[in-house]
Amino acid sequence: MTGGGLLVAGTTSDAGKSVVTAGICRWLVRRGVKVAPFKGQNMSLNSFVTREGAEIGRAQAMQAQAARVEPTALMNPVLLKPGSDRSSQVVLMGRPVGELSAKGYHGGRQRELFEPVMACLEELRGTYDAVICEGAGSPAEINLRRTDIVNMGIARAARLPVLVVGDIDRGGVFAQFFGTTALLSPEDQALVAGYLVNKFRGDVSLLEPGLEMLLGLTGRRTFGVLPYAHGLGIDEEDGLRVSLRGAVRESVVAPPVGEDVLRVAVCAVPLMSNFTDVDALAAEPGVVVRFVDRAEELADADLVVVPGTRGTVKALAWLRERGLADALVRRAAEGRPVLGICGGFQALGEHIEDDVESRAGAVDGLGLLPVRVRFAPDKTLARPVGEALGARVEGYEIHHGVAEVLGGDPFLDGCRVGAVWGTHWHGSLESDDFRRAFLREVAAQAGRRFVPAPDTSFGTLREEQLDRLGDLIEEHADTDALMRLIEEGAPVGLPFIPPGAP
């Protein structure tokens, strides 16, 4: 028997689809419902490796955690990883299958992926009581409707009711709700059950006349008004947001344990991937994390992080153009801490041979670590476990570059020379004991009287965040109506709003 379901669509990108989907998953699982998240097609540079070695979007991994289930490739069968403004790597069922231009993808390849996407959704619906699907962008992108495999395309095929989320903080939410509905075909409109207002500030009673008028205009109700809540942007698809910093600063009063704060500067390299790596640093009381793109901004940093990127050679050129490369070389010579992760680790090495990602051939690295990198056609996808600084460490690897380490001290399959550290492991800083040991080393190297808090648990903070999302749904949405929608589908006889679209 096929389980219940819901598609969470949005009036725009970044309307809050990811966090609303996670919140619904957490609310349902707390009610004893066996639930799974799903996103047919995701475009993101923030990805994760499942236990079976498949690469999926980090947002879906976060939603799986909200649902208290293990993430799998079924939950995000198609992942697009941009390599430029015009092309992306296509990852199907967790494995890369090629590089395509946007025109090539939407011109035919996308439609070919419809059947495997639907097969994944149906397998999940046969296994779980409910599947909460996340859309992408807006369902009213009429230029892309014919090849859609993530919004109304799957809603129509799977007969899923659709809840449209709008960000009222941006303004114009009533026009967005009405216009989104009115630009859909009659068949698509029949599945749009109603709306959810996100990021509302103020007295809800002032909004209610508009919601009543929206009901009169569209025949569709609003299922809830979620208040603006800081610090909820966990594992987002894109954007520069340190997701847990706000939660730590706002939910608890957490001054530094030692006498000093520790300042971390993250180089905002092009095609930056998995910048969520620094969330665990930002969760520490007394650690201040910021993204930078100018050499001057490294001057007062106690630690500089060169993060992952989908374009290591492009990132190297960017670092050199902006003077950041010279600043990093000076830091290393002065014994001031630098950490390179994945593409950032590769950039810190001596030499890169890339005939795969950039096809630039031989390129000199920054020469801060005794490492030579050769890009391989096959991508490394792994969930390593190891030890560093006397602590157990878990991480995950996603890279084409194969590193040959020629010296230095071993560090998480990478190496360390003085105050410069490099590893391919994403997520290592989420291991609490290791993070504390690493920050103690950084503080000593930087000459700061910073002391890591003895009891910060990144996993506990993450769970608290997911519970906050569940609380938002439970306290500010009509959960009885939402449950009926998930179990029974869209109401019959919803009115058509002209003009519609093909």
Catalytic residue among 25, 120, 342, 415: 342
Sheet with 78-82, edge to edge strand ranges: 41-43, 78-82, 87-92, 95-101
Q: Which residues contact 109 (CB under 8 A, 6 or more apart)?
A: 90, 100
Sheet with 35-38, edge to edge strand ranges: 35-38, 130-134, 4-10, 162-167, 192-200, 221-227
Question: Are the CB atoms for 389 and 439 separated by under 8 Å?
Answer: no
What is the b/e burial string over 410-445, where b = at least 16 CB atoms within 10 angstroms of the residue's CB? ebbbbbbbbbbbbbbbbbbbbbbebbbbbbebbbeb
CA distance 332 to 149: 48
Structure tokens, 449: 């009287």
Catalytic residue among 400, 424, 426, 476: 426
In this structure, the strands spanning 78-82 and 41-43 are: parallel
CA distance 37 to 466: 14
Q: What's the DSSP call for residue 85? A: S
**Does 342 participate in catalysis according to the annotation?**
yes
Cα distances (Å, whole numbers) of residue 473 to 75, 134, 234, 463, 481 = 22, 16, 16, 16, 12
Residue from 82, 72, 162 nearest 121 by CA: 72
Question: Are the CB atoms for 331 and 292 separated by under 8 Å?
Answer: no
Q: Which residues contact 493 (CB under 8 A, 6 or more apart)?
A: none
Q: Of how many residues is the chain composed?
A: 502
Q: Report the SS3 class of residue 206.
A: helix
For the chain, percent helix, then strand, then coil, each to nearest 5?
35, 30, 35
Cα distances (Å, whole numbers) of residue 145 to 111, 148, 192, 346 = 11, 5, 15, 40
CA distance 161 to 487: 10
CA–centroid distance for 1 within its chain: 32
Catalytically active residues are 342, 426
